[in-house]
Structure 1
Amino acid sequence: MSLMTKLFGRKWPTPVAQPMWPFFVAGGVIFYGINSFANLVANTEEFKNDPRNRNAKPVAH
């Protein structure tokens, strides 16, 4: 008996990725949408000079 069989029991032929692909695609779409919106908001007038903004220009002292 192999170590994997001892640890996890019998190997069942259960598909995992095939029924989950719509959720993987939806997660990618949501991630892309939130990232695009965050970049859009970071470049608005209100947040353009915020020191937490990674696109803000450093202030010369």
Structure 2
Amino acid sequence: MSLLGKKFPAQVARPMAPFYISGLVILYGVNSFANALASSDEYKNDPRNPALKNKSASSH
């Protein structure tokens, strides 16, 4: 007898594919929007900006 019970031949990845794809699209959009806001004039010279930290670390 199996530890987890009977196995059912159900597909998991194929019916969930639209949700996986839409999740990736949303994450890409949020990342692009956050990068655009971080490079805006208002926050370009903010010391908490991680892009500013990366530029200063690479210049030394």
Does residue 10 of structure 2 align to residue 14 of structure 1? yes
- Tell me the percent identity: 54
State TM-score, norm by structure 2.
Answer: 0.80
TM-score normalized by the length of structure 1: 0.79
Q: Could you list the runs of 5+ residues in structure 1 that have no partner in the other structure?
A: none
Q: Deviations over 1:27-51 (max 9, x none)?
A: 0000000000000000001111111
Give me the CA root mean square deviation: 1.3
Unpaired segments of 5 or more residues in structure 2? Answer: none
Q: Which one has the bigger helix percentage?
A: 2
Partner of 2:43: 47
Aligned positions, number: 54
Deviations for 1:14-37, whole angstroms, at most 9, x for unmatched residues?
A: 110010000000000000000000
Q: Which has the larger radius of gyration?
A: 1
